[in-house]
Structure 1
């Protein structure tokens, strides 16, 4: 279990992490989401004692990271796949980690087999592709067979087979009762992997809820209907006290009423339906909705035709500066 209490990190006047309090529990994959600059990497670094908090506390199974003897047996982490000596072979890189944490040599071969790097175990890491380096970093996280695992962008550089593999690996680890904490910008992948979400923006906690609860609370859910008897269907729905919204292709949308209720209503009036489909936003749409006010770096499509390069970017910066200082735009 990972426990954060009022965790804060300041760099001068800049507040990178702002009084974060949440718990990452065992048995589920917990996704850690936030826009660029939200403080995710800083938070993860403080979990591992790589950065000292300005205030607050963070504990790994009830202990500070610095107090853990042989820490790889408690928590395994992938923060930077390139954080290794390029002149060492994959095997020797892992062997150094094992020997410094009291882990048997035999475990090195086991994790190399798990991540699919046995055939290149004696090759120097500097010759590895991004995906191979990522697999080696994951092997390092698994080396101590820890109860807590933390991954920052674990699918970065992996091919489709590798992405499918790491997704199933994380789910398998969680099903064993381990704590799995993973940060990623790939919303489609997170939607397939995470059971629970922690979302931050500008260093502050925005959400700590289940995946289903997050989407439900931060997006619109509705039912779309389409019928060759569209006008009659609309009248029947209105007579039942239900509001509709017109949509594309002559269909209509209904909020707050289930598809089952609407289907039964249409059946009672012998109306033919060509479409009766519940609609719910994706994780990406719900995330964008929640974090819209917390995005620090906004891209703009550009300025007027003929404007010099960077003009659109500069205008965007000026707008945000003027808003911040209370000026109209």
Structure 2
């Protein structure tokens, strides 16, 4: 379990993370979302002791990260797939991490097999593709068989098979009762993977709720209907006290009612329906709705001049992120 209480990070006058308090619990995949510059990477760095908070506290199973003797046995992290010595082979990279954290050599082969890199175990990491680097980084996170795992953009560079694999891996880890915390900009993938969401904007907590509740609370749900008897259907629904909106293309939209009830009303009046479908926003639409006022960097079309009145030329330092494994290796004396 990861616990944040009043976590704050300032860079001069810039507040990158502002009084964050939430708990990442075991047994579920918790997604960590926010626009660019929201403070996600800075938050994850503070969780791993890479950045020191200006205020507040973060604990890993009740302890600060620097109090853990062999951190890879407690928490595995992938913050940057490039955070490895390119001159080392995949095997030797993992062996170095294992030796610095009291992990048996046999575990190296096991995790290489888990991530599908056994065939290239002796090849130098500098020749790896982005996707292979991601797999090696994930192997490092799994090396100590930890109960807590953190992944920042884990599907970056992976092909469809790899994306499907990491999705199922994270779900299986959570099903084993482990704590899984994952940050990603790929909303469609997060919608398929995460059970719980923590959303931040401009360093502040915007939401800490289940996936289903997040979408329901930040989007419009309605029922769409089509019928060859549209005028009669509209009159019947109006008589039942139901407000109907014509949406064009021969469709009607109804808020505040269920598809079951609407179908029953149509059946009672012998009305033919060509469509009766409940509509709900995607995670991406709900996210955009919630964070619309928290986006720090906006793109502008060529025909629309940018508003530079509030522009800040430099993003806060440290939000790009170093690799968690390098930190763990360094802190363990390697």
TM, length-normalised to structure 1: 0.94
In the TM superposition, what are the counterparts of 1:1-329 in structure 2 within 5 Å? 1-303=1-303, 312=304, 315-318=305-308, 320=310
CA deviation after TM superposition for structure 1 residue 318, in Å: 2.6
1:319 CA displacement: 5.5
Q: Higher relative CO (CA 8 A, sep ≥ 6), structure 1 or 2? A: 2
Larger helix share, 1 or 2: 1
Cα RMSD (Å) of the superposition?
0.8
Q: CA deviation digits over 1:218-263, x for unaligned, max 9?
A: 0000000111110000000001111011112111100010000000
Cα separation, 2, equivalents of 1:167 and 1:55: 34
Q: Secondary structure at the match of 1:76?
A: strand
User: What per-residue deviation string (whole Å, max 9, x for no partner) do you get for residues 270-295 of structure 1?
Assistant: 11111100000000000000000000
Distance 2:35 2:199 in 1: 9
Structure 2 stretches lacking a partner, 5+ long: 312-334
Aligned residue-pair number? 311
**1:292-323 superposed Cα distances (whole Å, 9 cap, x missing partner):** 000001011212xxxxxxxx4xx3233656xx
Structure 1 alignment gaps of length 5 or more? 304-311, 322-329
- CA deviations 1:141-198 (Å, max 9, x no partner) are 0000000000000000001100000000000000000000000000000000000000
User: What is the rounded CA distance, in whole Å, between the counterparts of 2:164 and 2:308 in structure 1?
Assistant: 43
Please identify runs of 4+ aligned residues in structure 1 that moved more than 6 A: none
Q: Distance in 1 between matches of 2:72 and 2:265?
A: 59
